Structure 1
Amino acid sequence: MDLLALADFNLVARHGGFGRAARAADRPKATLSRRVAELEAALNLRLFERGARILKLTEEGRALHERTETLLAELNETAAAIASGGAKPRGRLRISAPLLFSQVAMGKLAAEFAAKHPEVRLEVTTEDRGVDMVEEGYDLVIRVNPQTDESLVGRVFLRDRLVVVSSPGLERPAADRTVPAVERGPGGGDAWQVRAPGGGSRIAFEPILRLSSLIMVRDAVRAGVGAGCLPISLVSHDLAAGTLVHWGDVDGPDIALWTLYPSRRLLSARVSAFLGHLKQAFPKGTPDELAAYMGA
Structure 2
Amino acid sequence: MDLLALADFNLVARHGGFGRAARAAARPKATLSRRVAELESSLSLRLFERGGHTLKLTEEGQALYERSSRLLTELDETVAAIASGGDRPRGRLRISAPLLFSQTAMGKLAAGFALKYPEVRLEVTAEDRAIDMVEESYDLVIRVNPDPDETLVGRIFLRDRLVVVASPDLVRPAANSVVPVVIRGTAEQPITWALTGPGAKSSLAIDPVLRLSSIIMVRDAVRTGVGAGRLPASLVSHDLTTGRLVHWGDVDGPSIALWTLYSSRRLLSARVSAFLGYLAEVFPTGTSDEFAAYMAD
Partner of 1:224: 225
| Structure-1 residue corresponding to 2:154 | 154
Cα deviation for residue 187 of structure 1 reads 4.7
Residues 264 and 51 from structure 1, CA distance in 2 versus in 1: closer, same or farther, beyond 3 angstroms? farther
The 1-side partners of 2:296 and 2:52 are apart by 64
Determine the structure 2 residue equivalent to 1:74.
74
The answer on whether the counterparts of 2:67 and 2:135 sit within 8 Å (CA) in structure 1 is no
Q: Percent identity?
A: 76
Structure 1, residues 121-156: CA drift from partner, whole Å, max 9, x if none?
Answer: 323232223344445443322222233444433322
More displaced, 113-122 or 125-134? 125-134
**Alignment deviations for residues 245-292 of structure 1 (CA, whole Å, 9 cap, x no partner):** 222222222222122233333332222111111111112322222122
Q: Distance in 2 between matches of 1:19 and 1:264?
A: 34
CA distance in 1, matches of 2:183, 2:254: 19
Where in structure 2 are there 5+ consecutive unaligned residues? Answer: none
Name the counterpart of 1:278: 279
- Return the letter of the residue paired with 1:61: G
- CA–CA distance in structure 1, aligned partners of residues 16 and 114 of structure 2: 35
Residue 142 (structure 2) aligns with: 142
Q: How does 1:110-121 map to 2 (within 5 A)?
A: 110-121=110-121
Residue 200 of structure 2: SS of its match in structure 1?
A: coil
Verify the 8 A CA contact 2:183 2:230 in the aligned structure 1: yes
Which residue is equivalent to 1:28?
A: 28
CA contact (8 A) 1:145 1:257 kept: yes
Cα distance, 1:230 vs structure 2:
0.3
Q: Distance in 1 between matches of 2:203 and 2:53?
A: 70
Write the deviation string for residues 82-120 of structure 1: whole angstroms up to 9, x where unpaired: 222322222333322222112221222122212212222
1:43 Cα deviation from its structure 2 partner: 3.2
Deviations 1:224-261 (A, max 9, x none): 22110001111223334443222222222222212223
Give the match for residue 40 of structure 1: 40
Q: Which amino acid aligns with 2:287?
A: T
Distance 1:62 1:151 in 2: 22
Shifted more, 163-172 versus 5-14: the winner is 163-172
Q: Tell me how far apart the structure 2 counterparts of residues 114 and 19 of structure 1 sit (CA, whole Å).
A: 37
Residue 96 of structure 1 is matched in structure 2 by 96
CA distance in 2, matches of 1:42, 1:138: 29
Cα distance in structure 2, aligned partners of 1:51 and 1:148: 46
1:67 Cα deviation from its structure 2 partner: 0.9
Residue identity in the other structure for 2:280: K
RMSD: 2.4
Structure 1 contact 195–248 (Cα < 8 Å) conserved: yes
Residue 210 of structure 1: aligned partner: 211
Mapped contact 1:165–1:244 kept (Cα < 8 A)? yes
- Aligned AA for 1:47? L
1:267 aligns with 2:257: no
SS at match of 1:200: strand
Q: Which moved more, 1:187-196 or 1:64-73?
A: 187-196
> Which amino acid letter does the alignment assign opposite residue 26 of structure 2?
D
Q: Return the offset for 1:193.
A: 1.9
Q: Matches of 2:111 and 2:19 in 1, distance apart?
A: 44
Q: How far apart are 1:50 and its partner, in Å?
A: 4.0
Distance 2:251 2:91 in 1: 43
Q: Does 1:83 align with 2:110?
A: no
- State how far apart, in whole Å, the 1-side matches of 2:152 and 2:4 are: 27
User: How many equivalent residue pairs?
Assistant: 296
Q: CA deviation at 1:214?
A: 1.7
Does the 8 Å CA contact 1:71/1:266 hold for their aligned counterparts? no
Matched letter for residue 36 of structure 1: V
User: Secondary structure at the residue paired with 2:85?
Assistant: coil
Note the alpha carbon deviations across 1:198-220, whole angstroms, 9 max, x for none. 43332121122233332232232
Report the equivalent of 1:243. Answer: 244
Name 1:125's counterpart in structure 2: 125
Greater mean deviation of Cα atoms: 272-281 or 97-106: 97-106
Q: Which SS does the other structure have where 2:267 is aligned?
A: coil
Equivalent-residue separation in structure 2 for 1:122 and 1:217 (angstroms): 30
